[in-house]
A = this chain, B = another copy of it.
Amino acid sequence: MAVKFTVLRTDGSARAGVMETARGIIHTPQFMPVGTQGTVKAMSSEELLSIGAEIILGNTYHLYLRPGTDVIDALGGLHRFISWPGPILTDSGGFQVFSLARLRDITNEGVTFNSHIDGSSHFLSPEKAMEIQRALRSDIAMCFDECPPYPSSYDYIARSLRLTTEWAKRCREAIPPGSKTAVFGIFQGGVFRELRRESLEEIVEIGFEGYAAGGLSVGEPKDLMHEIITYTAPMMPPERPRYLMGIGDLRDVLLAVESGYDIFDCVMPTRNARNGTLFTSRGRLSIKRAEFKRDDSPIDPDCACPTCLKYSRAYLRHLFLAREILSMRLNTIHNLSFYMRFFREMREAIMKGRFKEFKSRWLPVLEENFR
């Protein structure tokens, strides 16, 4: 199997584990920095490794459109192309087709859409999405699914699940168990418990190396999202990694890990960094604020990231106001380090049976960062 998952320790429903892949071990719970266009924005591979990143996410939709699958394939796959030595998980392109591109047509066969870059017409199907991810040499490919927007009616989502299940079967056939590339199944169902259960059962029935909740954090109220997170985790096969897609508010992550989810991805730390919004042990900080003009202290006195070890708030404020590239670099290093530290400490807490203490220690910090 391309991904071997072992739960090392549980603490309540929270799990600490390892995902073994041909390209390296991933400790769970784990956060995956998002490398949309073949680069985690502003970061080099060395910097990602230095702050403890173990796996990154690549976006199939973006890479398929530019530079094109054929290019990356010819250059030896995504890892070699971008010079990232660790594992890569690729999404299927489904989410972007439904959110970023101009959608033209959905049939059983697949989806026709126009590129957000140049308007050109493209067709994506389960088979095509798997073929692309295999050409990228992805370590973990995600199933191609339909992603209904929020709000969608119960009936619409119920119908949509038939497509998602059929497409999941075709994805599995395209990359059968035992292939070099692992495949994770995605279940949908919106904010409806019944549909979530039904979808999960159908996807598990097909059988994948891991399972992922899709279609959350798409605009639904937080309490509904939380309900679905806590409801679904215990139903998912315990011997497989559980991936909560696209969720990066660390309060939600905390709840999800407490419920039994293992892996996460989100653009929030990197995007916020570029906008000058920084996470700290004392709450969120907007680096452009006038009060930092002469502030010689680091972003976060409790942080040991390369940015906090060397640079003052005053300098980072200056770089941000002067729109310097180094601003985005240093801010991104800091925010990703914050996420990495949160996940590392969470994992250690679970290993020591101290998740509850971890939670009560971090929750007030997270409230100050994500309110």
Interface residues of chain A, those whose CB is within 8 Å of chain B, are 37-39, 41-44, 66-67, 71, 74-76, 81-83, 293-294, 296, 310-312, 314-315, 317-319, 321-322, 324-326, 328-329
Contacts and interface: CB of A to CB of B under 8 A. Distances in A.
A109 to B, nearest CB: 30
B39 A293 contact: no
Contacts of A293: 67, 71
In order of increasing CB-CB distance, the 6 nearest A-B pairs are A67-B318, A42-B325, A37-B322, A39-B326, A83-B310, A74-B294
Given A293-B67, A318-B67, A43 B74 contact: no
A299 to B, nearest CB: 14
A44 to B, nearest CB: 7
Nearest to A293: B71
A204 to B, nearest CB: 37
Nearest to A319: B39
B41 A81 contact: no
B39 A81 contact: no
Contacts of A41: 324-326
17 contacts: A37-B318, A37-B319, A37-B324, A38-B318, A39-B326, A41-B324, A41-B325, A42-B326, A43-B326, A44-B326, A66-B321, A67-B317, A71-B318, A75-B296, A76-B296, A81-B318, A325-B328
Q: Choose among A38, A41, A319, A322 the residue with the greatest number of B CB atoms under 10 Å from its CB.
A: A322
A122 B195 CA distance: 67
A317 B43 CA distance: 17
Given A326-B39, A326-B42, A75 B321 contact: no
A44 B327 CA distance: 10
Nearest to A82: B315
A37 B319 CA distance: 8
A66 B44 CA distance: 28
Contacts of A81: 312, 314-315, 318
B322 A325 contact: no
A65 to B, nearest CB: 10
Contacts of A42: 325-326
Contacts of A83: 310-311, 315
A81 B317 CA distance: 11
Given A38-B319, A66-B318, A325-B325, 9 more contacts: A37-B318, A39-B324, A39-B325, A42-B326, A67-B314, A71-B294, A81-B312, A81-B314, A81-B318
Contacts of A324: 37-39, 41
B44 A315 contact: no
Contact of A75 (B294, B325, B328): B294
Nearest to A74: B294
Contacts of A66: 318, 321-322
A328 B319 CA distance: 16
Contacts of A318: 37-38, 66-67, 71, 81
A315 B38 contact: yes
A116 to B, nearest CB: 12
A25 B40 CA distance: 37
Contacts of A326: 39, 41-44
Contacts of A317: 67
B37 A314 contact: no
A81 B314 CA distance: 8
